């Protein structure tokens, strides 16, 4: 017998019929003798409607009241699923974040989980009761409802799994696992049976939308084995995947992966904009004068490239920011022109970041050289490069996105079959 946390996203609980399908998945695990906790999102579209109503009520509003409103979507789903489970003869009850409680910090709208008191849930699970938990929410230091930000139900599920010392956290979504790249771009992309926490963290942060980045971080820190699978598979489907699991992807420790590929996946992000400063004074403190004001404006900077100074006095600097922050970042840089001391600033939102990811890169040389050669042969110019132990990211013109991704996917032998 195992202890399992099951998480279902908005599309999985979009209406009553889908909630009944979710209940059948839960019943299957209960019938197998497992202790089960379920974390649910709001029904598809519900959160957007709640946010719209909040903004319609007042463009500038109290963040605490915003959380009170938007957290109600998950409350509805949790109650409905508990009712359906009870109707099926399964002992179940719904839990809101404050009832457990899931303690968070005071950052309303983007709170971070500080602690989960899991002993009450554990007692109920041991008695055979299914806990249906409203995801995305907790309770702050002021005893007000808080929410965890978009995708926060993934984080809720992993945190609950860690608190309950669950054997596995199953993330049910509208895709059947983690793929080597986006199948809409590369039809021959294949589903991965297993992927290491570090690789999944890189893929999530670099453009893959399967899991929220914070949930992967939490899973890695606490060693929560996380299984991504489709909620639209039949609840009666045979368990045919690796380790007697159904089709899906297990996110686990690197030690659980016997055959490590050099490259595991190709990620890309279109949410990028590039800013270049020409002839910046090459002196101590200049980087702080550039990135300090951006930080003060809560604008995240990713790739940074600084050219070697030829004359010892001036250099060029290029960096990327989220596309949504491009105009605001340009304004910040222009406002700080006197302090920075550049001669010209230019930028473009027509760029994309493409990344090659794999834990096997740690022990294999030549991965980058292969990448650069293959892209050069396709006439793709690289504008910036950044690397880590297990990833290489490049910035290219957005028009070459699909060509670059397909080229690299084939280059590293990731095409199915």
Q: What is the pLDDT along the chain (417 residues), one digit of tens a residue?
A: 699 999 999 999 999 999 999 999 999 999 999 999 999 999 999 999 999 999 999 999 999 999 999 999 999 999 999 999 999 999 999 999 999 999 999 999 999 999 999 899 999 999 999 999 999 999 999 999 999 988 899 999 999 999 999 999 999 988 889 999 999 999 999 999 999 999 999 998 887 778 888 899 999 999 999 999 998 888 877 665 556 677 899 999 988 887 678 899 999 998 899 999 998 887 788 888 899 999 999 899 988 888 776 666 788 889 999 999 999 999 999 998 888 888 889 999 999 999 999 998 887 888 999 999 999 999 999 998 988 889 999 999 999 999 999 999 999 999 865
Q: Which residue is listed with tokens 């010892």?
A: 312
47 is in an annotated binding site: yes
210 is in an annotated binding site: yes
184 is in an annotated binding site: yes
Q: Which of 209, 200, 267 shows the shortest CA–CA distance to 227?
A: 200
74 is in an annotated binding site: yes
| Residue 346, CB-side half-sphere exposure with 13 Å CA sphere | 6
- Cβ 369 vs Cβ 385: under 8 Å: no
From its phi and psi, is residue 359 left (phi > 0), alpha (psi between -120 and 50) or beta?
A: alpha
State the pLDDT at residue 343. 85
Three-state SS for 62?
coil
| Domains of the chain in sequence order | 3-255 (3.40.1160.10), 265-411 (3.30.2130.10)
7 is in an annotated binding site: yes
CA distance 379 to 162: 48
| Residue 375, CB-side half-sphere exposure with 13 Å CA sphere | 25
179 is in an annotated binding site: yes
CA distance 100 to 91: 18
State the pLDDT at residue 81. 98
State the pLDDT at residue 247. 87
295 secondary structure, DSSP code: H
209 is in an annotated binding site: yes
pLDDT in tens, 204-260: 888 777 888 889 999 999 999 999 999 888 887 766 555 667 789 999 998 888 767
- Work out the widest C-alpha separation in the chain, in whole angstroms: 79
By the 10 Å C-beta count (0-12 exposed, 13-18 middle, 19+ buried), 88 is classed as: middle
| Residue 152, CB-side half-sphere exposure with 13 Å CA sphere | 27
State the pLDDT at residue 244. 64
By the 10 Å C-beta count (0-12 exposed, 13-18 middle, 19+ buried), 379 is classed as: exposed
Instruction: Provide the β-strand partners of residue 104.
Output: 113
Calculate ∠ Cα 406-300-217, nearest 5°.
Answer: 70
Q: Which of 289, 271, 159 shows the shortest CA–CA distance to 215?
A: 159
Instruction: Provide the β-strand partners of residue 195.
Output: 251
176 is in an annotated binding site: no
pLDDT in tens, 108-146: 999 999 999 989 999 999 999 999 999 999 999 999 999
Token pair for 51: 């946010």
325 is in an annotated binding site: no
CA distance 255 to 311: 50
249 is in an annotated binding site: no
- Cβ 209 vs Cβ 295: under 8 Å: no
State the pLDDT at residue 20. 97
């Amino acid at each position: 017998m195992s202890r399992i946390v099951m998480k279902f996203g908005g599309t999985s609980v979009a209406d009553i019929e889908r909630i009944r399908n979710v209940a059948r998945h839960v019943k299957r695990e209960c019938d197998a003798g497992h202790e089960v906790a379920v974390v649910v999102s709001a029904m598809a579209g519900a959160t957007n409607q709640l946010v719209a109503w909040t903004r319609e009520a007042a463009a500038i509003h109290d963040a605490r009241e915003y959380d009170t409103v938007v957290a109600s979507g998950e409350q509805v789903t949790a109650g409905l699923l508990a009712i359906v489970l009870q109707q099926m003869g399964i002992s179940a009850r719904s839990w809101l974040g404050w009832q457990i409680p899931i303690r968070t910090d005071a950052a309303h709208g983007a709170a971070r989980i500080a602690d989960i008191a899991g002993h009450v849930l554990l007692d109920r699970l041991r008695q055979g009761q299914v806990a249906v938990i409203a995801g995305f929410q907790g309770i702050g230091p002021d005893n007000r409802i808080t929410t965890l930000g978009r995708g926060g139900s993934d984080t809720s599920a992993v945190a609950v799994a860690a608190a309950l010392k669950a054997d596995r956290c199953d993330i049910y979504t509208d895709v059947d696992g983690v793929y080597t790249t986006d199948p809409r771009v590369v039809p021959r992309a294949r589903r991965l049976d297993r992927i290491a926490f570090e690789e999944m963290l890189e893929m999530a942060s670099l453009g893959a939308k399967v899991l929220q980045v914070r949930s992967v971080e939490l899973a890695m820190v606490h060693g929560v084995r996380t299984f991504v699978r489709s909620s639209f598979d039949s609840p009666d489907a045979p368990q045919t995947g690796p380790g007697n699991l159904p089709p899906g992807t297990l996110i686990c420790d690197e030690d659980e992966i016997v055959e490590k590929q050099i490259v595991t996946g190709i990620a890309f992000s279109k949410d990028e904009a590039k800013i270049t400063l020409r002839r910046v004074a090459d002196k101590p403190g200049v980087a702080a004068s550039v990135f300090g004001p951006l930080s003060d404006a809560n604008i995240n900077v990713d790739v940074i490239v600084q050219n070697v100074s030829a004359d010892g006095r001036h250099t060029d600097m290029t960096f990327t920011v989220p596309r949504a922050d491009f105009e605001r970042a340009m304004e910040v840089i222009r406002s700080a022109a006197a302090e920075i001391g550049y001669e010209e600033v230019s930028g473009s939102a027509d760029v994309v970041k493409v990344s090659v990811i794999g834990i096997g890169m740690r022990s294999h040389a030549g991965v980058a050289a292969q990448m650069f050669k293959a892209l050069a042969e396709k006439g793709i110019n690289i504008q910036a490069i950044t690397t880590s132990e297990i990833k290489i990211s490049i910035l290219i013109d957005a028009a070459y996105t699909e060509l670059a991704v397909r080229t690299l996917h084939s280059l590293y032998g990731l095409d199915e079959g």
